[in-house]
Structure formats: structure tokens, C-alpha cells
């Protein structure tokens, strides 16, 4: 099974998700999204596959989220492209779908 993880190695949940994927024997592509941010179109595609809105993918703990948390999807996506710290992690994609790994157990749905 192939998997892509949008990963921040400094995040414990992201590290847990990566370990889960590796333990499951997945062929993992790691995208350090702070170094290589996804495009706006890629974010739209991922959230569509996950069945979630950009607001649900917004990392509310970041200061920059306060300015857009009540905005529409377009404003939130624009903010995420400008500041990828606003993208909640870990986001994982397999052939079975996309899930936000919070909680990590949700990743079992796509393994």
C-alpha cells in the first residue's frame, strides 16, 4: 500500500502517524509541508477526498488562524497557502482516502 503523509517532524501526532504507517508496511512518501507546502488546488483535492472543509483542516492553535477562523473556505485556503503552519496535521492519503490523523486511530479507516 502506498501512503503520503503531510508531515511535520516536530509534531508528536505526526510522528505517531508516520510510525503507524511504517508499522502497517506502507510505502510512505513523506511531504514536509512546511518546507514543500501543498498548492491551493492540492489542499482542495485533499479536503474533498477527506470529506472535510478547509475550516476543519485549519490548525486553530496557531495565531494566524484567529484572523480567518470565521472566514469562508476561500479565505481559509488562501491563508493556508500563505502560511502552511495553519494546515492541521498529520494529513494522510492512501488509495482508500484521506484522513486527518487526529485522533491517530482515524488512520485505520484508510489502511
For the CA atoms of 37, 39, 45, 51, the dihedral, rounded to the nearest 10 degrees, stands at 50
Gap between the Cα atoms of 31 and 90, Å rounded: 10
**Which helix or strand (DSSP H or E) is residue 79 part of?**
helix 73-82
Gap between the Cα atoms of 17 and 65, Å rounded: 23
Using an 8 Å Cβ cutoff, are 100 and 57 in contact? yes
Candidate list 11, 30, 52, 81, residue with the active-site label: 11
Q: For residue 11, indicate whether it is catalytic.
A: yes
| Residues annotated as catalytic (active site), given as ranges | 11
Amino acid at each position: 500500500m502506498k501512503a503520503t503523509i503531510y508531515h511535520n517532524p516536530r509534531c508528536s501526532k505526526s510522528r505517531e502517524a508516520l510510525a503507524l504507517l511504517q508499522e502497517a508496511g506502507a510505502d510512505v512518501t513523506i511531504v514536509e509541508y512546511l518546507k514543500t507546502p501543498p498548492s491551493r488546488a492540492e489542499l482542495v483535492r485533499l479536503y474533498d477526498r477527506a470529506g472535510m472543509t478547509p475550516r476543519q483542516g485549519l490548525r486553530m492553535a496557531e495565531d494566524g488562524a484567529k484572523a480567518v477562523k470565521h472566514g469562508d473556505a476561500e479565505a481559509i485556503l488562501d491563508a493556508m497557502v500563505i502560511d502552511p503552519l495553519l494546515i492541521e496535521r498529520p494529513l494522510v492519503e492512501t488509495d482508500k482516502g484521506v484522513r486527518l490523523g487526529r485522533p491517530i486511530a482515524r488512520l485505520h479507516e484508510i489502511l
